[in-house]
């Protein structure tokens, strides 16, 4: 560990420890602090398996977000089965791939993985060689939910084949415990590989139980990373300041009404860096000076009267803005400055969503109905190789979860969406295109008294044309379409081997066909099938096991009619965590990640096995009560490897340490 890192960590520890001493006299006590920081139950594993639904969904809560000490959201969710990363250790040049769709080494997204921050749809479309899927900091969020596949996506968008990533920002009440008063939270962290440093400062204020306000400023930086052989990994240094401002006011009888506003911003200023954010050097494109701004605004009104099961209304107005300003560095590339490099890019999405949830009992059937309408306006600045224009959409959606008999649940879902795209071609001609599609699906689940359940689903979706394809009329007049079939089983029971141990398992098979392809050059259809497995086991004595695995096989048909391997296929993987809550204060875990060798069209990527160690210590009494110390070692063996979809080597051994305290 470098001298600067040791100095930062010692200063951080001293600061928090001294603050803990000064705060000891105020007995607001360590008990309140501990409540905020989370209570670890000895009979819990790190992650709950969602066995109560047919939808393949994984939720990462605040405790796991803190424990993983991830540098990016991509790094945070790569532990979810079916999720793979294109790189991942930096905000730029990384992306999220789910079930073979999403980011790839050419574009930051293919429109088949949706990402939302407090309901705002973020990310750009296909900007060449610039990974622009998600610029943000994990410190801003209290939970991350990953819905895999199509069947659970109809309330969130169209054309979603890989899945949905839903991020929820922190609330003031997470810090105040819902009681009037002030709270201040501080987290400081360091990492050895790349001399990384991070800080997150949060001020929470509740003047009354009805009003709460939160402000957060986070800073994250790292120098160039090194791989397991000690070689520098180019294009991995960055600085990322981020902030979150959020307020909520509830009013009326039983506080049935509420208004909430959240605003986030992340910025990155890079100088003389490769234009190709997926690469490690300037290459044939050369270097650029790049400034990135990513904003989200979410304004919501909710009305949820306790005495009316028919009304649980949400009106949500959101805005997402992503700006990428690039200036070519003269002489940095062998062919001079390309117009596509020296360009300013901006992508804005404004969305109004009206959603209502109702509970209805009729004829022996229990209905939980979610219905809504969305008005979506996308506006993109015109730039070289990134056509500008507007895309206006109207969508209607309906999801009905029907429970009947003894253990049966059927959930039909529909979404109808229209699109009106207007823009200007390179020739100066104005064009417009109108498209629409009806899509939907259904899932069926039956649970036995034993805790064993069977489920299956079918879903059809359509990816309507996008602004990027304005210059190709054939692409603007048709939608990409897909079918997905899924089937699986789950088991959830307490007292399997001992009186109070818990076991949860969920396995899911999926098969997806995509046709009328416009997102990938030379491809007319894609077929993907795979199996995902999630499991957890915990004993009252504090021992726990978490398991997830993904096995996938995919192929595509080329425009020449050949059937070949799908180049975006991730490698098969298995992730196993063994842990022990030694005491309520100390948690230790060992994570093993085993990835199989992968081959696509003659290109072979070696398999690898990495080990990660993590420890969390929460003093339960004394002046440090309410403080969290977290330590981790990633890639313990310091092995050199490059993941299947990555364009650069993975980082070598990395020591991480963070300290958190609520004042």
Dist. CA 280–CA 234, nearest whole Å: 4
Which residues, including other chains, have CB under 8 Å from residue 14's CB and lie 6 or more apart? none
- Identify the pLDDT of residue 2: 41
Dist. CA 630–CA 67, nearest whole Å: 7
Question: Can you list the positions of beta strands (E) in 174-256?
Answer: 181-191, 196-206, 211-222, 225-226, 232-233, 238-251
Given a cut of 50, is residue 168 above it in pLDDT?
Answer: yes
> Taking all residues of the chain, what is their mean pLDDT, rounded to a whole number?
90
Cβ atoms of 659 and 628 closer than 8 Å: yes
Alpha carbon separation from 253 to 64, 212, 257 (Å, rounded): 36, 18, 8
Residue 371 binned pLDDT confidence (cut-offs 50, 70, 90)? very high
- Could you report the per-residue pLDDT of 210-241, keeping only the tens digit for each? 999 999 999 999 999 999 999 999 989 999 99
Given a cut of 90, is residue 7 above it in pLDDT?
Answer: no
Residue 315 binned pLDDT confidence (cut-offs 50, 70, 90)? very high
- Identify the pLDDT of residue 577: 97
CB atoms within 10 A of CB 219: 16
Dist. CA 179–CA 548, nearest whole Å: 38
Give 183's strand partners: 204
Residue 16 binned pLDDT confidence (cut-offs 50, 70, 90)? very low
Residue 250 binned pLDDT confidence (cut-offs 50, 70, 90)? very high
Higher-confidence position of 323 and 589: 589
- How many structural domains are present in the chain? 1
- Identify the pLDDT of residue 446: 98
Higher-confidence position of 74 and 13: 74
Residue 166 binned pLDDT confidence (cut-offs 50, 70, 90)? very high
pTM: 0.91
Integer-rounded Cα Rg, in Å, for the chain is 25
- Identify the pLDDT of residue 133: 58
Range(s) of the domain holding residue 127: 3-662
Higher-confidence position of 337 and 411: 411
- Could you report the per-residue pLDDT of 568-624, keeping only the tens digit for each? 999 999 999 999 999 999 999 999 999 999 999 989 999 999 999 999 999 998 889
- Identify the pLDDT of residue 42: 63
Alpha carbon 495 to its chain's center:
33
Residue 124 binned pLDDT confidence (cut-offs 50, 70, 90)? low
Mean pLDDT for the stretch of residues 85-96:
83
- Could you report the per-residue pLDDT of 476-512, keeping only the tens digit for each? 999 999 999 999 999 999 999 988 999 999 999 999 9
Mean pLDDT for the stretch of residues 47-58:
96
- Identify the pLDDT of residue 43: 67
Q: Is 309 left (phi over 0), alpha (psi -120 to 50) or beta?
A: alpha
SS (H, E, C) 375-388: EEEEEECCECCECC
- Identify the pLDDT of residue 125: 66
- Identify the pLDDT of residue 129: 58
Report, in this order, helix, strand and coil percent for the chain, each rounded to 5: 10, 55, 35
User: What is residue 313's three-state secondary structure?
Assistant: strand
Residue 544 binned pLDDT confidence (cut-offs 50, 70, 90)? very high
- Identify the pLDDT of residue 6: 38
Give 204's strand partners: 183, 214
Cβ atoms of 381 and 345 closer than 8 Å: yes
Q: Is the dihedral of CA 105, 110, 116, 122 positive or negative?
A: positive
User: What is residue 75's three-state secondary structure?
Assistant: helix
Could you give phi then psi for residue 628, rounded to 5 degrees?
Answer: -115, 130
- Identify the pLDDT of residue 33: 40
- Could you report the per-residue pLDDT of 54-76, keeping only the tens digit for each? 999 999 999 999 999 999 888 99
Mean pLDDT for the stretch of residues 21-35:
36
Higher-confidence position of 41 and 559: 559
Alpha carbon 332 to its chain's center:
34
- Identify the pLDDT of residue 434: 97
- Could you report the per-residue pLDDT of 256-278, keeping only the tens digit for each? 999 999 999 999 888 998 888 88
Check which CATH number belongs to the domain holding 179 and give it.
2.40.170.20
- Could you report the per-residue pLDDT of 403-459, keeping only the tens digit for each? 999 999 999 999 999 999 999 998 889 999 999 999 999 999 999 999 999 999 999
Residue 15 binned pLDDT confidence (cut-offs 50, 70, 90)? very low
Q: Which of 381-385, 530-534, 552-556 has the lowest mean pLDDT?
A: 381-385
Alpha carbon separation from 21 to 33, 34, 621, 656 (Å, rounded): 14, 16, 12, 25
Percentage of the chain exceeding pLDDT 90: 74
Given a cut of 60, is residue 370 above it in pLDDT?
Answer: yes
Given a cut of 90, is residue 126 above it in pLDDT?
Answer: no
């Amino acid at each position: 560990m470098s001298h600067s890192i040791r100095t930062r960590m010692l200063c951080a520890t001293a600061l928090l420890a001294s603050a803990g001493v000064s705060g000891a006299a105020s007995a607001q006590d360590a008990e309140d602090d501990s409540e905020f920081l989370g209570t670890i139950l000895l009979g819990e594993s790190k992650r709950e398996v969602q066995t109560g639904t047919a939808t393949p969904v994984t939720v990462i809560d605040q405790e796991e977000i803190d424990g993983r000490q991830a540098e990016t959201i991509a790094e945070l969710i790569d532990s979810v089965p079916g999720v793979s990363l294109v790189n991942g250790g930096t905000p730029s040049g990384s992306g999220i791939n789910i079930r073979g769709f999403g980011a790839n080494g050419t574009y930051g997204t293919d429109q088949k993985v949706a990402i939302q921050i407090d309901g705002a749809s973020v990310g750009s479309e296909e900007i060449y060689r610039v990974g622009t899927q998600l610029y943000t900091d994990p410190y801003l969020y209290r939970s991350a939910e990953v819905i895999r596949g199509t069947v659970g996506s109809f309330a969130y968008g169209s054309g979603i084949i890989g899945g949905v990533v839903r991020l929820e920002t922190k609330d003031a009440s997470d810090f105040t415990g819902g009681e009037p008063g002030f709270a201040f939270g501080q987290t400081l962290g360091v990492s050895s590989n790349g001399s990384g440093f991070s800080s997150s400062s949060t001020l929470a204020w509740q003047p009354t139980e009805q009003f709460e306000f939160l402000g957060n400023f986070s800073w994250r930086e790292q120098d160039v990373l090194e791989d397991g052989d000690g070689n520098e990994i180019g294009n991995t240094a960055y600085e990322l300041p981020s902030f979150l401002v959020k307020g909520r006011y509830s009013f009326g009888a039983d506080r049935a009404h509420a208004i909430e506003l959240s605003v986030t911003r992340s910025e990155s200023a890079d100088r003389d860096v490769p234009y190709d954010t997926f690469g490690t050097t300037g290459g044939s494109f050369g270097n650029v000076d790049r400034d990135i701004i990513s904003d989200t605004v979410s304004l919501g009104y909710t009305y949820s009267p306790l005495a009316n099961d028919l009304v649980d209304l949400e009106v949500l107005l959101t805005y997402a803005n992503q700006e990428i300003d690039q200036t070519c560095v003269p002489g940095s590339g062998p062919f001079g400055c390309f117009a596509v490099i020296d360009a300013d890019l901006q992508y804005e999405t404004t969305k109004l969503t009206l959603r209502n949830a109702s509970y209805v009992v009729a004829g022996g059937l229990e209905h939980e109905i979610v219905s809504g309408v969305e008005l979506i306006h996308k506006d993109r600045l015109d730039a070289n190789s990134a056509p500008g224009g507007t895309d206006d959409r109207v969508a209607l959606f309906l999801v009905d979860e029907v429970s009947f008999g003894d253990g049966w649940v059927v959930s039909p879902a529909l979404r109808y969406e229209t699109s009106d795209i207007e823009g200007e071609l390179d020739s100066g001609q104005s064009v417009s295109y109108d498209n629409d599609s009806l899509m939907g699906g259904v899932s069926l689940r039956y649970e036995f008294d034993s805790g064993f359940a069977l489920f299956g689903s079918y879903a059809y979706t359509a990816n309507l044309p996008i602004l990027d394809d304005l210059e190709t009329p054939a692409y603007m007049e048709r939608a990409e379409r897909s079918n997905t079939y899924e089937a699986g089983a789950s088991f959830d029971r307490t007292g399997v081997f001992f009186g109070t141990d818990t076991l949860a398992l969920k396995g899911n098979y999926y098969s997806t066909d995509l046709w009328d392809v416009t997102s990938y050059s030379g491809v007319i259809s894609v077929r993907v099938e795979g199996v995902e497995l999630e499991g957890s086991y915990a004993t009252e004595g504090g021992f726990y096991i978490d398991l997830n695995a993904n096995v996938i096989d995919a192929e595509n048909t080329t425009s020449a009619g050949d059937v070949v391997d799908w180049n975006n296929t991730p490698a098969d993987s298995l992730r196993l965590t063994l842990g022990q809550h030694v005491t309520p204060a100390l948690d230790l875990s060992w994570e093993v990640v085993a990835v199989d060798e992968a081959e696509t069209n003659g290109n072979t990527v070696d398999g690898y096995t990495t080990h990660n160690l993590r420890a969390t210590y929460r003093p339960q009494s004394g002046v440090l009560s309410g403080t969290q110390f977290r330590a981790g070692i990633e890639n313990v063996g310091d092995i050199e490897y490059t993941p299947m979809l990555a364009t650069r080597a993975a980082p070598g051994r990395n020591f991480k340490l963070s300290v958190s305290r609520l004042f």
